[in-house]
Structure 1
Amino acid sequence: MSRIQWQVSHFGFVAAIVVVPIAVFLSGLRRVRAGRAGKLKAFVTCWLAALSPTALYVAFFFALVGIEELSGAALIAEEIGRSFLIVVGFGLGVWLLVLISFAVLMARAPAAAPVNDPRGRDA
């Protein structure tokens, strides 16, 4: 694969670092408000799923570095290597922002009655 193809996958990871935590945040919030998930379960799911793109990016980068060291072929462009810490820091910042805002919204949200609960809205 050429360097251009690796750079495209790099930018795909960077886009996922932003998009996935936001999507997880919105789906977790929707599930809690609908009563399909508890607050703690939704928080843990949000914590794990929002961190996964950054963790996968780090694993992918280190795998490429290992392959590059073993094969001697230049797989990673120097710009991508230099931007590694910036991208990981940005990913952790997005993760932390999503997590804190999710925790604040969950602390303020009333406990929803489960679906088909006789005490709930659909009784």
Structure 2
Amino acid sequence: MPEENSIGLAELIEQIKQELLSTEVEGEKPIPLFSVDQVSLELQVTARKEGKAGIKVYVVELGGGGSRDDVQKVTVTLTPLLSKEERIALYKTRYPQKWKLLEETSIEGLLKGSNDEPLGDLLG
């Protein structure tokens, strides 16, 4: 596997983490409203011993060459340190004005297309 086309497992996980934690919006698209409770990655990796550096694990490139018998399938699961309930409680405390808008947007998204009746009428 050519070194210049390889990406280390730790580097890949770091890039995914940075993208999930990013608050920047690319272009004009709004950030989708959702909470990430778990991310599972299923990867094909190969391990190579590199001098005194120990063993290095590389993610296999799609369409890459090399022998197939040294490739292993690995599943990596990433979960947040705080539970969903803890994250919501912190958000409510830090951003009380934004929480009300977030709550309304979430409810509108859940009820989209189901009924034109006001929410109060539906809930009694």
Q: Same fold (TM over 0.5)?
A: no
Query: Could you say which structure has the larger radius of gyration?
Result: 2
- Higher normalized helix content (fraction of residues): 1
Q: TM-score, normalised by structure 1?
A: 0.35
- Higher normalized strand content (fraction of residues): 2
Q: TM-score, normalised by structure 2?
A: 0.35
**Which of the pair has the greater relative contact order for Cα pairs under 8 Å at 6+ separation?**
1
